[in-house]
Amino acid sequence: MFLFAINSANGAFDPLILLLLALLLDIGIGGIVNRWRLAWHPVNLIQQLTGWLDRKLNREHRPEMDRAMRGLLATLLLLAIAAGFAWAVSWATQNVPLMWIFETALILLLLDQRAVHARVRRAAQAITNNEPEKARLEIAPLTSGLSATMDVHAVGRAGIEGCGRALAAGVAGPVFWYVLFGFPGLLVFKLLSVMDMVVGHRTARHRAFGFTAARTHDILMYIPARLAGFLVTVASLFVPTANPKAAFGVMVRDASKYRSTNFGWPVAAMAGALGVSLGGSRANSDGAPWLGAGSARASGLDMRRGLYLFAVACLINGLGLAALVVLRLVDGSAG
C-alpha cells in the first residue's frame, strides 16, 4: 500500500486496521448519523462546495469549451483541498495521540453499507404491508427523484439496483482506494462520486462543466465496480435462493446495457443471481434495455433476497480485508 510515507515503521496504526474497524462499526451503527440533517457531514460539505462552484462558474451563456475548462479547474481545486486535508488527517493519525478515533469516524461517515440496507429493508416491508406510498418515499433517495410514479414492482427493482450500486460506490470503491492510498484515496474517491452526482449529468447545463468530474469518477469506479460484480457472484454461492452461474453469465452479458456500464456489473450480477430483470424503463419510460431474463415484477420478497445477497457480499468484502490485515501483521512481525 502506497501511503505517501504516512505509514512509517514507527507509526501508531496500520491504516487498514482503522478501515476494518470502521467496516465493523458500520454494521452496528452505520446510518445512525443522518447526513441529511447535518450540514457538517463530509458528503454534505462536498455537495455544498460543488454546488457553489457550479453556480459561480457554470453560467449558461458561456461557450461550452469555456465551461468545460472552468469545470476542470473546479475539479482540480476540490481534489487539491480533499487530498491535502486527507493527507493531514492520515499524518496526524500516525503522529498525534487519539487522532485515530477522528480518522475512523470519518471513514465510517464515508461508507454506505448499513444505511442503504436499512432503507431498502423498510421499503420491502412497506410493499409487503401494501403501503406503496411509504415504499416510494423510502426508495426515493436511491432513484434521483423518479420514485413518485413508480408502481410497486418498479420500487422493488429500484431497491435491488440500489443495493448493487451501493456495493460498488459505498463499499467496494472506498475499500479499494483506501487499501491503495489510505484515507486520501478514500476521500478523493468520495469527492468525485459526489461531484458526479451533482454535476455529472449529461444535460445542457452540466454536460461540459461536469465532464472532468464525471469521466474521472468513471475511471476510479472501473475496478471497484467489477469487483462488486464478482462479490455478488461469489456471495450467491452462499445464498440458498441465488444462482451463481446465472449471476456470472448475466453480469458478463448484460453489464454494458445498464445506464452506467460500471454500475451495470453489480446490478447485472444481482439480476442473474435473483432471477429477475432489472434496469429497463423507469417511471419516465425511457426505453432502457433490461438486464437479466427473469420477471420484472420484483416483489418485497425479491428485495429481501437482494438484501441477503448484499449483506453476504459485504461480509465477503470485510473478510477479504481482514485477511489482508493479518497478512500485513504477519509480514511486519517477520520483518
- Grid coordinates representing 134 are 411509504
How many domains would you assign to the chain?
1
Could you give the 3-state DSSP secondary structure of residue 295?
Answer: strand
Site of grid cell 500516525: 94
**What per-residue confidence (pLDDT) applies to 284?**
43
Which residue range(s) make up the domain with 208?
15-334
Distance CA 40, CA 226 (A): 32
**What per-residue confidence (pLDDT) applies to 231?**
97
Report CA dihedral (210, 170, 268, 154) to the nearest 10 degrees.
-80
Determine, yes or no, domain membership for 2.
no
**What per-residue confidence (pLDDT) applies to 285?**
47
Determine, yes or no, domain membership for 1.
no
**What per-residue confidence (pLDDT) applies to 210?**
93
**What per-residue confidence (pLDDT) applies to 259?**
86
Determine, yes or no, domain membership for 9.
no
Determine, yes or no, domain membership for 230.
yes
pTM of the model: 0.90
Strand runs labelled E in the chain: 278-279, 290-291
Strand runs labelled E in 175-324: 278-279, 290-291
**What per-residue confidence (pLDDT) applies to 202?**
84
> Phi/psi class of residue 10: alpha, beta or left (left: φ > 0; alpha: ψ in -120 to 50)?
alpha
Distance CA 278, CA 153 (A): 10
pLDDT-flagged residues of the chain (< 50)? 1-6, 8-9, 283-285
**What per-residue confidence (pLDDT) applies to 9?**
46
Distance CA 278, CA 258 (A): 9
Determine, yes or no, domain membership for 5.
no
Determine, yes or no, domain membership for 247.
yes
